């Protein structure tokens, strides 16, 4: 089943990139899936980071910010739950649009923070630390899938998110999982960026900086 989903994901993702790319050799986030980029090239890594940031910015712009009333309700309910362990109340809170919106906005903010620092830093170790933070956010399927599902059901985000025409956010369909592409990117970061880097940390810093320039 996972193989079929991966094949379907690749077909959809590469088709989307073919329509949006100006050159067949252009590096993009999709190259994280099969490692088809120069891991040691900072230029390639920055192009990938900027592509992911573009997708996450597009998604973030479609998710509304919690209102003051939403934040008040979340704080009030959080305090109340400290004295109430009823399963139903806890589930109602977790599945509420207010909580999912608040949690998801913070999740997106954390990934954007990591991406901006990846792009801005000239320090390889700092860059890699932020790739790790980004990867953990992209791989978190539960946070992304739950938020999209709840927010769509409450009409808090456009219904086209997760459709075949949604090439701006790259949120997949519910059939293969809303977070499918993000999860694959996160795995690619681990496999093709972080693990190769960590395998070379026994070398002197100047050697690493030269290799990973």
The position carrying tokens 């934040």 is: 71
Q: What are 159-173's pLDDT values in tens digits?
A: 999 887 778 999 999
pLDDT confidence of residue 81: 87
What is the token pair recorded at 96?
């509420």
Name the pTM for this structure: 0.85
Indicate the pLDDT class of residue 82, thresholds 50, 70 and 90. confident
* Cβ partners under 8 Å of residue 102, min gap 6: 66, 70, 71, 74
The span from the CA of 33 to the CA of 53, in Å, is: 17
Do residues 166 and 62 make contact, with C-beta atoms less than 8 angstroms apart? no
Indicate the pLDDT class of residue 209, thresholds 50, 70 and 90. low
| Percentage of residues in the chain having pLDDT higher than 70 | 83
Q: What are phi and psi of 96, to 5 degrees?
A: -75, 150
pLDDT confidence of residue 202: 66
- Range 114-126 average pLDDT: 96
Do residues 56 and 170 make contact, with C-beta atoms less than 8 angstroms apart? no
What is the token pair recorded at 179?
């977070």
Q: Structural domain boundaries of the chain?
A: 2-211
Q: What are 16-63's pLDDT values in tens digits?
A: 443 333 334 589 999 999 999 999 999 999 999 999 999 999 999 999
Return the ∠ at Cα 182 (arms to 179 and 184), rounded to 5°.
Answer: 105
Tell me: pLDDT of 127 over 90. yes
């Amino acid at each position: 089943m996972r193989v079929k989903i991966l094949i379907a994901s690749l077909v959809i993702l590469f088709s989307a990139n073919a329509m949006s790319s100006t050159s067949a050799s252009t590096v993009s986030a999709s190259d994280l899936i099969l490692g088809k980029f120069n891991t040691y090239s900072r230029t390639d890594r920055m192009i990938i980071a900027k592509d992911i940031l573009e997708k996450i910015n597009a998604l973030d712009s479609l998710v509304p910010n919690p209102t003051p009333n939403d934040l008040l309700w979340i704080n009030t309910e959080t305090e109340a739950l400290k004295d109430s362990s009823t399963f139903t109340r806890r589930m109602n809170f977790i599945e509420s649009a207010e909580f999912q919106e608040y949690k998801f906005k913070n999740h997106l903010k954390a990934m954007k923070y990591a991406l901006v620092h990846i792009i801005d830093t000239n320090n390889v170790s700092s860059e890699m630390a932020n790739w790790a933070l980004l990867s953990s956010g992209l791989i978190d399927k539960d946070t992304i899938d739950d938020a999209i599902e709840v927010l769509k059901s409450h009409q808090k985000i456009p219904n086209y998110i997760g459709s075949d025409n949604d090439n701006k956010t790259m949120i997949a369909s519910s059939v293969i999982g809303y977070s499918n592409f993000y999860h694959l990117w996160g795995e690619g970061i681990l496999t093709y960026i972080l693990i190769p880097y960590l395998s070379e940390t026994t070398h002197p810093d100047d050697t690493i900086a030269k290799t990973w320039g």
